[in-house]
Chains A and B, each alone.
Chain A
Amino acid sequence: MNGKKIIFASLLISMAVAAELVFPPAFAQKRGSASNGSPSNQEDVYAPLGKAPKKAAARRNPMENDSDAVSAGGNLFAEHCAECHGEMAEGGRKAPSLLADPVQQATPGTLFWILTNGVVRRGMPVWSKLPEPERWQLVTYIKSLQPGEKTPKSAPQ
């Protein structure tokens, strides 16, 4: 394998990196509209919540009375979600706040449906690779978040 091929491979990686750095709006959630955006921006960012089928939205959270679910969900959030949504779910460069009313008022079934299916066109991957109980633990954690507070009702360990 000669140097030219290595350079070609490096160029391909560089192109992908450049695409991410130069055109992030095309690949990421709309920015800045998470916790302090205008109402119209909020409607747009959180519109996918309204796409959950009624049957899915009506599902009950089997973990809502599980005493460990908030802590376990918090650990899962730190591992898989905080990178985009912010460590306190306040929203980040790539993804909106989960403290906002549309999320906090959504049914557990709706949040579970969004986690399972992602919002692929807007950059949120599908998370069906997490087992169903773990997704419900995440929903429990997200629903435990209190807007304005620094920590949820039960912080992850």
Chain B
Amino acid sequence: MQRSSASVRVRLCLLALAIAAYAHRGLAQESPYIVTYDHYLEEPGSLEVEYFSTFGTQRGGNDFHAFWGEFEYGVTAWWTTEVYLDAQTTFNESTILTGFRFENRFRLLQLEHFVNPVLYVEYEQISGADKILKEVEGHDVEADYAVPNAIARKEHDHELEWKLLLSKTFNGWNVAENTIATKNLTGGNPWEFGYAIGASRPLALKASAKRCSFCRQNFIAGVEMYGGLGDRHDFGLHDTSHYLAPVAAWNLPSDWTLRLSAGFGLNDNSHRFLLRWGVSREFDLAEGIARMMGRKP
């Protein structure tokens, strides 16, 4: 790993720890999805700091461990903004930073409806070595990830990604569907498409009278499925990869959330296995900063 990259990571961790030390406890009730988005945005003024990992098996190349940090901030009740920093280790090769993403989500309707739409807009500046698989689109296939880091990192992509997030919660179940459209702004690449769908439910719908870590209502389980739908010239399932992944989240009373997902490739173009896990915590950012500056929030 480059020394400057390590230094940046250390500084980001120190900043997050400093805010955490001063911030009021957050409010965690996170979904278990890792790829799919539901329609719930970050609470205004809350900063959610997240770390995720993806371990992937690779035929025709080395297995990899991709990881990323997310800083998700609720600007208003209808607007959430987020920055990602991506990196990966390909075993027997190297560890490298692979780029950043800047994302915004906008709630389109004020009240809850039968289906709740959210518009997602993301700008990505990533290298060809990015392996976090946060979404699958176009003709992304396993062989694309077998290219050695030394070569793949020389490819630089600037992508604009749009998603329409549709989601509904009823009887404790959340059902979410994301339609993805991506345009690589470098070169004459066509629009690429993808999807993600998910369903999840807490293990209990009533809160218990005592605060507890292992109460059933703290656990949310579900499943998500995601994959590519080709591009503008070749729309469909031909030469695309797809995954099915049971997912689970554990929302702790201490405001930490742990997530786990085991993804299985559904065709020969997919990685056979993707193991993902993540940890996150929410902070009241404004209060944390005010306290750091010695002001009463």
Could you say which of B5, B83, B287, B290 contacts A12, with CB atoms under 8 Å apart? B83
Chain B stretch 42-101: residues in CB contact (< 8 A) with chain A: 43-45, 71, 73-78, 81, 83, 85, 97-100
Q: Is A9 an interface residue (CB 8 A)?
A: yes
- Of A27, A68, A131, the contact of B76 (CB 8 Å cutoff): A27
Mask for B260-294, Cβ within 8 A of A = 1, else 0? 00000000000000000000000011110110000
Residues of B within 8 A of A93 (CB): 287, 297
Which of B174-230 touch A at CB < 8 Å? 174, 202, 205-211, 217
Chain A minimum-CB-distance residue to B290:
A21
Q: Which segment of B105-113, B131-139, B140-148, B234-242 sits at the interface?
A: B105-113
A58 interface hit (Cβ, 8 Å): no
With A20-B285, A83-B284, A93-B297 in contact, is A131–B205 under 8 Å at CB? yes
Partner of A157, one of B44, B171, B211: B211
By a CB distance below 8 angstroms, the chain B residues around A126 are 40, 77, 112
**A134 engages B217 (CB within 8 Å):** yes
- The A22-40 residues at the B interface (CB cut-off 8 A) are 24, 27-28
B77 and A73 form a contact (CB under 8 A): no
- Evaluate contact between B289 and A21: CB separation under 8 angstroms: yes
Known A-B contacts A129-B40, A129-B169, A157-B211; the reply to A1 vs B98 at CB < 8 A is yes
Q: A129, B174: Cβ atoms under 8 Å?
A: yes
Q: How far is the CA of A79 from the CA of B213 in the complex (A)?
A: 13
Contacts of A68 in B (CB 8 A): 208-209
In contact, B77 and A20 (Cβ under 8 angstroms): no
Q: Does A133 contact B (CB under 8 A)?
A: yes
Once the chains bind, are A75 and B209 in contact (CB under 8 Å)?
yes
Given the contacts A17-B285, A20-B286, A129-B169, A72 and B100 also touching, CB distance less than 8 Å: no
Q: Give every chain A residue within 8 A of B164 (Cβ-Cβ).
A: none
Residues in B with CB closer than 8 Å to A156 are 211
B100 touches A1 (CB 8 A): yes
Q: Do B205 and A132 touch across chains, with their CB atoms under 8 A apart?
A: yes
In the complex, are the beta carbons of B125 and A131 less than 8 A apart? no
Q: Mostly helix, strand, loop or mixed at chain A's interface?
A: helix
How far, in Å, is A127 (CB) from chain B's closest CB? 9
Task: Assess whether A121 is in contact with B44, with CB atoms less than 8 Å apart.
Answer: no
Give the shortest distance, in Å, between A102 (CB) and chain B (any CB): 20
- Please give the distance in Å from A153's CB to the nearest CB on chain B: 14
Number of residues on chain B facing chain A (CB within 8 A): 59
Residue of A nearest to B99 (CB): A1
For B28, list chain A residues within 8 Å (CB).
79
Q: How far is the CB of B8 from chain A (nearest CB, A)?
A: 5
In the assembled complex, how far is the CB of residue A12 from the closest CB belonging to chain B, in whole angstroms? 6
- Complex contacts, B38 vs chain A, CB 8 Å: 129
Q: Which of B15-36 contact A (CB under 8 A)?
A: 24-29, 31
The reply on A143 being an interface residue by CB < 8 A is no
In the complex, B253 has a CB within 8 A of chain A: yes
Residues from chain B with a CB closer than 8 A to the CB of A8 are: 100
CB distance from A130 to the nearest CB of B (A): 7
Chain A contact residues, CB within 8 Å of chain B? 1, 3, 5-6, 8-9, 12-13, 16-17, 19-21, 24, 27-28, 68, 71-73, 75-76, 79-80, 83-84, 93-94, 116-126, 128-134, 137, 156-157
B residues whose Cβ falls under 8 Å from a Cβ of A: 4-5, 8, 24-29, 31, 38, 40-41, 43-45, 71, 73-78, 81, 83, 85, 97-100, 102, 107, 110-112, 125, 127, 169, 171-172, 174, 202, 205-211, 217, 253, 255, 284-287, 289-290, 297
Q: List 20 A-B contacts (CB under 8 A).
A: A1-B98, A1-B99, A9-B102, A16-B73, A20-B75, A20-B286, A68-B209, A71-B209, A83-B26, A93-B287, A117-B112, A123-B76, A124-B77, A125-B43, A125-B74, A128-B112, A129-B40, A129-B169, A131-B217, A157-B209
